[in-house]
Structure 1
Amino acid sequence: MSHPDTNFTPEQITALFVDAARDGNHDLLQQFLDAGMTIDAADSRGYTALIVASYNGNIDAVQLLLKNGANPNVLDLKGATALSGVAFKGQIDIATLLLEHGAHIDHANFSGRTPLMFAIMFGREDMARFLLERGANPDLKDIDGVSARDFAERQNMMSLFNGVKA
């Protein structure tokens, strides 16, 4: 328990909020929100509570944050959104929530990589199929001129595109 005379900097408070999301501490997240915490506050890496909760698979925390207005399209310092993180981890349940709350399915990070590219690069076939079924564009190119379709060819995952127009 902290002492009443302890003063935290705004950066420390944000770090504690993001840590609560990482740990899936629903009650502590709610206490922060009840106290007026800025829901999309980012830590020193540009990570918001939503990005961290999503990446770590804490679906209850993700639901709480989205219900309270967290923006699923906030970028970390690499230009990635929460959907990018769940795409390469294969967390379809959280991807569904993010998309239902307005996450941009084809958002590319600063290297031009989309969630679909991450899913394919990390061998997450179910996630790649899920994103394609929801309209992800397999032909967008990253800064190296490589598309999700190209990554799939390298990974021997071209069956993903059966029925998907080139």
Structure 2
Amino acid sequence: MNQRQRKKLGRRLFVAALTGDTARVKEFLRAGADPEWSDSDGTTPLYVASVSGQAEIARMLLAAGALPNAESSGLGSEDTPLCAAACWGYTETVRELLAHGADPNLNEDHGTGWSPLMWAVHGSHSETAELLIEAGATPTESTAQHQPSRG
């Protein structure tokens, strides 16, 4: 496959992930689309699937080789897939990312921003926060102050 065809498939994969079209994502991955392709801003299909809670699409991308800890760099999407999913409380997507090796302690913004746990706690997503802690996320003083009490 030549460079032009790879780029075209990458764009189509990205749009399919963005729109939540599971069948098309599967089709483009089978055709050889690169699961790590990013748009001109640096946003990856895994990021857009994660930020929109598309667990099945995230699973397919990860199985095809998308890197679970790769940070997107597009405007408004400058974080990791796990931070994106945790921010919105998409527990199933968080579970998929963790199952494929996402680091629960990897802070966004190249290590200088918030952790997935901080996002989950800040958004009052207690189920997501508990899943992250079970996966080894280390609570900080900031997250401990805002974490819902278990009762």
Aligned to 2:82: 83
Aligned to 1:99: 98
Could you say if the C-alpha distance between residues 13 and 37 of structure 1 is closer, same or farther in structure 2, counting changes exceeding 3 Å? closer
Distance across 2 between alignment mates of 1:151 and 1:67:
31
TM-score (norm 1): 0.74
Q: Which has the higher contact order (CA 8 A, sep 6+)?
A: 2
Rg larger for: 1
SS at match of 1:87: helix
Aligned to 1:142: none
Aligned to 2:149: 159
Aligned to 2:24: 28
- Kindly report structure 1 stretches of 4+ aligned residues shifted beyond 6 Å: none
What count of residue pairs does the alignment treat as equivalent? Answer: 143
> Which digits, 9 at most, give the CA deviation of each residue in 1:95-129, with x for residues without a partner?
11111111011111124211011111222122112
Equivalent AA in structure 2 for residue 85 of structure 1: A
Map 1:72-151 → 2, pairs under 5 A? 72-77=68-73, 79-110=78-109, 111-139=112-140, 149-151=141-143
TM-score (norm 2): 0.81
What residue ranges of structure 1 are gaps of 5+ in the alignment? 1-6, 140-148
SS at match of 1:159: coil
Aligned to 2:15: 19
Displacement, 1:45?
3.1
Cα RMSD (Å) of the superposition?
A: 2.4
